[in-house]
């Protein structure tokens, strides 16, 4: 079974501070995704990666950057956190052509 670990699981940070969320997979799946989930909006794609150092923007990428220096790790960075970035963040991997496997999420609160 595919394994994904997101860290941290919970974080409270102050407005204007940088924050990095980590997603680690135990297999070598090519595609990795970062989503945010907010009430009434479902899951919205922030950024995705299709290989080491290969990333692209999703529909809500403003204020976020990503990096993928190794196949197993996909990092999401909020350069200067804002209250509008308070959300639950999910990492996912594409285990098959038509299947996304999700991590347990990171609850981020920006105060």
Partner 1 sequence: TQLLEQSPQFLSIQEGENLTVYCNSSSVFSSLQWYRQEPGEGPVLLVTVVTGGEVKKLKRLTFQFGDARKDSSLHITAAQPGDTGLYLCAGTNGQNFVFGPGTRLSVLP
26, two tokens: 């135990």
Cis-peptide into 8, omega within 30 deg: yes
Least separation in angstroms between residue 10's CB and partner 1 is 11
Structure-block tokens of residue 83:
């209250």
Residue 40 preceded by cis peptide, ω within 30: no
Applying CB under 8 A, which residues contact partner 1?
A: 31, 33, 35, 40-45, 48, 50, 56, 58-59, 90, 92, 94, 97-105
Q: How far is the CB of 4 from partner 1 (least distance, A)?
A: 8
Between 50 and 80, CB nearer to partner 1: 50
């Amino acid at each position: 079974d595919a394994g994904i670990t997101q860290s941290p699981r919970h974080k409270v940070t102050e407005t204007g501070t940088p924050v990095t969320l980590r997603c680690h997979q135990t297999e070598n799946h090519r595609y990795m995704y970062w989503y945010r989930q907010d009430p009434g909006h479902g899951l919205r794609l922030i950024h995705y990666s299709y290989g080491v150092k290969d990333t692209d923007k999703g529909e809500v990428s403003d204020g976020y950057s990503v990096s993928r220096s190794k196949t197993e790790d996909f990092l999401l960075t909020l350069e200067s956190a804002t209250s509008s970035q308070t959300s639950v963040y999910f990492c996912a991997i594409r285990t098959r052509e038509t299947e996304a496997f999700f991590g347990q999420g990171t609850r981020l609160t920006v105060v």
